[in-house]
């Protein structure tokens, strides 16, 4: 209706204006001045009302636009102040120019105009010079709340592109982070537990003591699971499953898996302390993946000798326990089974390659000669791949080629070995199970079918996809394992003096003349080798050293210090790059361990190629764990590592700290949870 009225009055004004114009023209043309003046008056009246109407429209439009702009400004201001995002603007000097109310509230009211960013936001992560370089996004904490902070660069004045400040947006993610932490804390962790020396502990016990012992072990594991608010299930005489939350796992890690100590201290008439091995997994997708990872951890724990826990957590493998000596097994069933399996594998192979670790010692050389003897007895083309390093290898090669010309063609370097590899070849690795330690990386990669025979505790980076693993940490040496296998390989096999003496030397070097890591099977293997022709005089010649070696060893012993009770340490400064250095530090570590009140000895050689470390223990401390932390490995009583990028003095501080921790734990009642383990 309003539109119709507006059109009517607009049309009326136009019509009157036209009539007035006609009257003016007609009056002028006819000379009738009254009519002309009347028409002109009508035009003035129409013009006046048109202008008046136009001014009214302009005034209304301006009022309308002012109202719209004011409403938009109010809306913008309300939105900026009420939006659930804290906003602040900082100039090119990093000083606060403007902020909204929420930003001021979140920073605790410490946000006055002109304040530097270091005062407004928690340093040092929020340094203005750093975050103003580019747009960024990160998470920060202010007091007890978490925020996602977005930084966007802006030009804060008209001075040019260099005049650049930043806008900071804060979004509160506290609830999300708390929910995330709660989710992480309640994640399911799964464990397989094995009573790893069940048969040995139960042997010779009457039924009553056996039952009591089984009940006590079940009780110890069950109480631990209950303390961790988890579930516990025994599904075989020596196998258990436990499930706990991630929060409980962190607690038991902080207590260093004290359940191992609880079980070990059970005494109900048993002569041998019971031990368990644990494989636990967390942070895997799905129960199937958790189960597989836990089983892998248990296999690793058992391969390392048992009495320990292996935990997959946060992408890392954590190791706990391994404080008791590995109990030697009296049964030789596995040695017989492995021997027969290797017999079949050799029969089906085109050629047999045997390889020890780099810088071979007498155990690696002796066990390699023993395995080569097996292959040659089957008339197989056999090669022992050597690294060409070490005085032990040089002496044994000289004796081998003098005593038996056949071994001149058997002992080969990497280059010659690569020429003889065929698709049907088999590689038997002795005295090591880590790829980085192999005498030849190219030979290892060139032969897919592999067998591993080793006496060291299994490491996390063990060679994968081997056909057969024969790893016995309870054995004194790999030479002992090979000697036992020779019993079952061929009853009619006869040894030369060289072969028997090489295996005998391998046992002697790793047992320190039968002083450590020996059992009844060790002496039986040595007796068998003596009957087979091992000559102690030949072996004693192998262990002789030149004058320079003896004097350097004596010098290192005289320079040894005892920085902490039970620990002896010596440093070989400016050690030459010759192969004899590793032998000297190993022998020195052995000698230091014979001193009164010394439980751990460590000798460090510092040369141009880095540090060489040799560690020894009397069994009270696990030096393998210490060396694994540095990237090496070995055995509970014998271990070592080579490292770069650190000085001997810096390494000494690390070793003292690690040894101190283990020695203190040895002297503490670790089963008492209240001690804070």
pLDDT 10s digits, 578-612: 667 888 888 899 889 888 888 899 999 998 888 98
Q: Which residues are registered as beta bridge partners of 195?
A: 276
pLDDT for the residue numbered 216: 92
Distances (CA, A) of 208 to 197, 213, 269: 19, 9, 10
The residues near 378 (Cβ < 8 Å, ≥ 6 apart) are: 343, 346, 347
Q: Model confidence at 673, in pLDDT bands (50, 70, 90)? A: very low
Cα–Cα distance, 559 to 553 (Å, whole number): 10
186, part of any domain: no
Residue 677 lies in a domain: no
pLDDT higher than threshold 60 for residue 330: no
Among candidate residues 511, 527, 542, the one where a domain is terminated:
542
Domain-ending residue, one of 287, 321, 355: 321
Write down which residue in 272, 287, 321 finishes a domain.
Answer: 321
Residue scoring higher pLDDT (650 or 667)? 650
Same domain, 380 and 527: yes
* Residue whose token pair is 């440093």: 571
Residue 675 lies in a domain: no
3-state secondary structure of 636: coil
Residues 494 and 598 in one domain: no
The pLDDT value recorded for residue 674 is 33
> Residues with Cβ < 8 Å from 666, sequence gap 6 or more?
323, 599, 620, 621
Paired residues of 168 in beta bridges: 88, 151
Signed CA dihedral, 390, 393, 394, 396: sign only: positive
84 CB-side CA count, 13 A? 5
Helices (H) and strands (E) in the chain, counts: 25, 23
Shared domain for 151 and 196, answered yes or no, is no
CATH number for the domain harbouring residue 258: 3.30.70.270
Both 196 and 292 in a single domain? yes
- Residues 312 and 210 grouped into a single domain: yes
**Domain-located, residue 532:** yes
Closest CA to 475 of 311, 343, 329, 307: 329
The answer to whether the Cα torsion of 429, 432, 437, 439 is positive or negative is negative
Helix H segments across 532-637? 536-542, 547-558, 580-592, 623-629
Q: At what angle do helices 362-377 and 478-489 cross, to 10 degrees?
A: 10
Q: Do 294 and 383 have their domain in common?
A: no
- What confidence tens digit (pLDDT) does each residue in 429-484 have? 999 888 888 989 999 999 999 999 998 877 777 888 888 888 888 788 899 999 98
Q: Is it the case that residue 672 has pLDDT exceeding 50?
A: no
| Predicted local confidence at residue 427, as pLDDT | 95
Q: Do 197 and 137 belong together in one domain? A: no
Q: What is the DSSP string of 266-334?
A: --SS-SSPP-EEEEEE-S-SSHHHHHHHHHHHHHHHHHTTSSEEEEEETTEEEEEE--SPPPPP---HH
Residues 652 and 616 in one domain: yes
Q: CA angle 211-216-220, nearest 5°? A: 150
- Residue at token pair 């960013």: 117
pLDDT of residue 367: 92
Crossing angle for the helix pair 520-531 and 497-511, nearest 10 degrees?
160
CATH of the domain at 518: 3.90.1640.10
Asked if 655 and 602 count as a contact pair (C-beta separation under 8 A), the reply is yes
Half-sphere CA count of 174, side-chain side, radius 13 A:
9
CA proximity to 651, closest of 622, 613, 621, 625: 613
51 and 142 in a single domain? The answer is no
Residues 352 and 254 in one domain: no
Is residue 255 a contact partner of residue 227, using CB atoms and an 8 Å limit? no
SS3 641: strand
Q: What is the total count of domains within the chain? A: 5
Residue 67 burial (C-beta neighbours within 10 Å; 0-12, 13-18, 19+): exposed
* Together in a domain, 617 and 569: yes
pLDDT tens for 518-536 read 888 889 888 988 888 888 8
Quick check: 645 pLDDT over 60? yes
Residue 37 resides in a domain: yes
Share of the chain above pLDDT 70, in %: 84
Residues 398/386, Cβ–Cβ less than 8 Å: no
Q: Tell me the pLDDT tens digit for each residue of 473-490.
A: 878 889 999 998 988 888
Axis-axis angle for helices 547-558, 580-592 (nearest 10): 50
pTM of the model: 0.61
Structural domain harbouring 278: 191-321
Place 156 in a pLDDT band, splitting at 50, 70 and 90.
low
pLDDT at position 2, please?
54
Q: Looking at residue 370, what is its pLDDT? A: 92
Q: Do both 384 and 526 map to the same domain?
A: yes
Phi, psi of 419, rounded to the nearest 5 degrees: -70, -25
Asked if the model's pLDDT at residue 250 lies above 60, the reply is yes
């Amino acid at each position: 209706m309003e539109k119709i009225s507006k059109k009517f009055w607009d049309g009326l004004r136009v019509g009157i204006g036209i009539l007035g114009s006609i009257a003016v023209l007609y009056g002028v043309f006819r000379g009738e001045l009254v009519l002309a003046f009347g028409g002109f008056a009508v035009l003035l009246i129409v013009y006046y009302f048109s202008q008046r109407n136009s001014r009214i429209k302009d005034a209304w439009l301006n009022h309308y636009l002012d109202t719209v702009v004011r409403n938009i400004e109010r809306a913008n201001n309300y939105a900026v102040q009420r939006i659930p995002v804290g906003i602040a603007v900082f100039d090119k000097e990093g000083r606060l120019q403007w902020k909204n109310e929420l930003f001021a509230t979140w920073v605790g009211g410490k946000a006055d105009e002109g304040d530097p960013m270091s005062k407004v936001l928690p340093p040092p992560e929020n340094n203005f010079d750093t975050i103003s370089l580019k747009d960024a996004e990160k998470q920060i904490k202010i007091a007890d709340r978490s925020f996602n902070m977005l930084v966007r660069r802006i030009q804060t004045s008209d001075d040019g592109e260099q005049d650049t400040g930043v806008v900071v947006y804060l979004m509160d993610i506290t609830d999300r982070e708390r929910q995330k932490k709660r989710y992480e804390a309640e994640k399911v962790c799964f464990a397989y537990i094995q009573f790893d020396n069940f048969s040995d502990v139960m042997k010779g016990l009457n039924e009553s003591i056996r039952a009591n012992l089984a009940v006590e072990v079940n009780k110890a594991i069950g109480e631990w699971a209950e303390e961790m608010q988890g579930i516990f299930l025994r599904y075989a005489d020596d196998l258990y499953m436990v499930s706990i939350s991630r929060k409980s796992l962190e607690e038991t890690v902080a207590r260093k898996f004290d359940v191992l100590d609880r079980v070990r201290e059970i005494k109900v008439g048993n002569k041998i302390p019971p031990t368990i091995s644990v494989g636990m997994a967390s942070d895997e997708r799905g129960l199937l993946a958790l189960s597989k990872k836990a089983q892998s951890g248990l296999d690793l724990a058992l391969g390392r000798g048992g009495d320990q826990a292996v935990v997959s957590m946060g992408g890392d493998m954590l190791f706990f326990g391994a404080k008791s000596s590995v109990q030697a097994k009296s049964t030789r069933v596995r040695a017989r089974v492995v021997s027969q399996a290797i017999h079949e594998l050799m029969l089906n192979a085109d050629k047999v390659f045997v390889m020890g670790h780099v810088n071979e010692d007498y155990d690696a050389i002796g066990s390699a000669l023993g395995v080569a003897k097996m292959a040659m007895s089957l008339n197989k083309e056999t090669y022992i791949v050597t690294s060409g390093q070490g005085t032990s290898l040089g002496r044994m090669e000289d004796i081998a080629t003098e005593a038996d010309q056949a071994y001149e063609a058997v002992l080969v370097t990497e280059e010659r070995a690569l020429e003889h590899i065929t698709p049907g070849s088999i590689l038997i690795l002795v005295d090591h199970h880590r790829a980085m330690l192999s005498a030849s990386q190219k030979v290892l990669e060139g032969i897919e079918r592999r067998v591993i025979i080793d006496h060291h505790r299994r490491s996390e980076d063990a060679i994968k996809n081997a056909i057969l693993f024969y790893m016995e940490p309870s054995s004194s040496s790999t030479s002992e394992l090979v000697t036992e296998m020779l019993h079952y390989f061929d009853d009619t096999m006869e040894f030369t003096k060289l072969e028997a003496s090489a295996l005998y030397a391998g046992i002697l070097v790793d047992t320190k003349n039968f002083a450590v890591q020996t059992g009844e099977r060790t002496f039986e293997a040595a007796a068998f080798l003596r009957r087979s022709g091992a000559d102690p005089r030949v072996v004693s010649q192998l262990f002789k050293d030149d004058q320079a070696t003896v004097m350097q060893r004596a010098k290192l012993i005289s320079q040894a210090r005892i920085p902490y009770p039970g620990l002896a340490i010596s440093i070989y400064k400016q050690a030459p790059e010759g192969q004899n250095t590793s032998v000297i530090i190993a022998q020195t570590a052995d000698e230091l361990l014979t001193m009164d009140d010394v439980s751990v000895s460590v000798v460090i050689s510092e040369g141009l190629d880095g540090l060489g470390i040799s560690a020894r223990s009397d069994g009270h401390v696990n030096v393998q764990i210490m060396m694994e932390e540095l990237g090496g490995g070995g055995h509970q009583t014998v271990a070592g590592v080579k490292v770069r990028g650190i000085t001997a003095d810096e390494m000494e501080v690390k070793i003292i700290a690690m040894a101190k921790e283990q020695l203190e734990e040895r002297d503490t009642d670790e089963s008492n949870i209240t001690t804070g383990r």
